Amino acid sequence: MVEPSYKQHAAVSVRLKYFLEALEKSDLDVDVYSYDLGSKVSRLFKYLFPSVPRDLRERFRYVDVAFASSPPPLLAIVASLLGKRYVVDIRDIWEEYAQEVYPRFLVKRIVSKYFNALKNANGVVVTTDGMANYYKEKLGVDPFVIPNGTDTEIIRCSSDVLRDTRLVVVLADFNTPYQNLDPFIEAMTLAKDVKLLIIGSGKYLDKYLVLAEKLDVADRVRSVGHVPYDQLSKYLCKASIGIVGRPRILNPEYLYTIPTKVYDYLAAGLPVLAYGPPNSELQRFVENNRVGVYLTDLTSEAIFDALSKLFDGVEGLKEHVLTVAKQYDRKMLGYKLVEFVKKLL
């Protein structure tokens, strides 16, 4: 397993943690290599002129299958250069949102190398059926789906927990620009008794706090910063509804992926209020599993009405969303990767 050296990014570290546990509990021998991505300048050089570090090549001399998770796509590119059979696990459609953050000429060069790595992989793993269809049509590969999930033993609320019946929570990585909390904060001007708890940190968080000040709802918005995964219950269990906001843009990233926070909300017994583009994987998940409300209308009035509906039905939904969460237990999902790798062996 080639993993990124940084550990603070929950989407990477949590998914790989459970994959690694499942692999180690099987009869497979597992070696983990922590790849140092370096500074932004160093990383750029590695993308433009990818190579395999000497110590990585030595460590993987007797390895049968290499495994890398993307993003960062650099790990998939490096895995393709090892001269081994390899599997790439894709958590996000990086090539789509990267164009909003990085220069297009640079993204184009990286994506070319990345797509070659995916085409030549012995296996590609994705998190949704929509992602599987996307890469099948784009690259001709046939991905294997292992959904994201939650740990129902770590994220759990006691039966006698005292929830705030008007508290809504959002769990997010605010280093990414697409959390789209603006519509919800604007709706708080109509929902006068609703409070918002923000879990997460990043450079885009301040703009939401500034908006709350501007709209005179800041006294009902509380930000607690980054919270380790094993401490999330302390905050999630105080709320009654979990929020997932996405731009109403027909972008493959927003259409075909489901944020991991959704499963953590369910494990905490929280129905979901989600909004974004129509016909998305997130919309199908929320509606097919009946775990909340999905909106394609991002007006304050629509969000206010959805909140009112969810608040009225919270108690009736709690047991149901907990049952759905158990179907997406990460420990169970980890063994799907074991089965997949063993087929390659």
pLDDT tens-digit map of 163-177: 999 999 999 999 888
Q: At what angle do helices 73-80 and 40-48 cross, to 10 degrees?
A: 40
Question: Which residues have CB under 8 Å from 103's CB, separation 6+?
Answer: none
Q: State the average pLDDT for the chain.
A: 93
Determine the Cα–Cα distance for residues 185 and 245; give it in Å rounded to an integer. Answer: 11
227, two tokens = 């919270």
**CA gap 125, 57 in Å, rounded:** 24
Residues 141, 143: Cα–Cα separation, whole Å: 6
How far from chain centre, in Å, is Cα 87? 19
pTM over 0.85: yes
Read off the amino acid at residue 310: L
Task: Give me the tens of pLDDT residue by residue for the chain, a chain 345 residues long.
Answer: 999 887 555 667 889 999 999 999 998 999 999 999 888 888 888 998 999 999 999 998 999 999 999 999 999 999 999 999 999 999 999 888 787 767 888 889 999 999 999 999 999 999 999 999 999 999 999 999 999 999 999 999 998 888 999 999 999 999 888 899 999 999 999 999 999 999 999 999 999 999 999 999 999 999 999 999 999 999 999 999 999 999 998 889 899 999 999 999 999 999 999 999 999 999 999 999 999 999 999 999 999 999 999 999 988 899 999 999 999 999 999 999 999 999 988
Contact 173, 154 (CB under 8 A): no
Give the pLDDT score at 208: 97
The answer to whether 135 and 256 have CB atoms below 8 angstroms apart is no
Closest CA to 233 of 265, 271, 201: 265
Tell me 329's DSSP state: B
Beta bridge partners of residue 242, listed in sequence order: 169, 272
Domains and CATH numbers, the chain: 2-149+330-344 (3.40.50.2000), 167-326 (3.40.50.2000)
Number of H helices, E strands in the chain: 15, 12
What one-character-per-residue DSSP string does 264-321 give?
HHHHTT--EEEE-STT-HHHHHHHHTT-EEEES--SHHHHHHHHHHHHHHHHHHHHHH
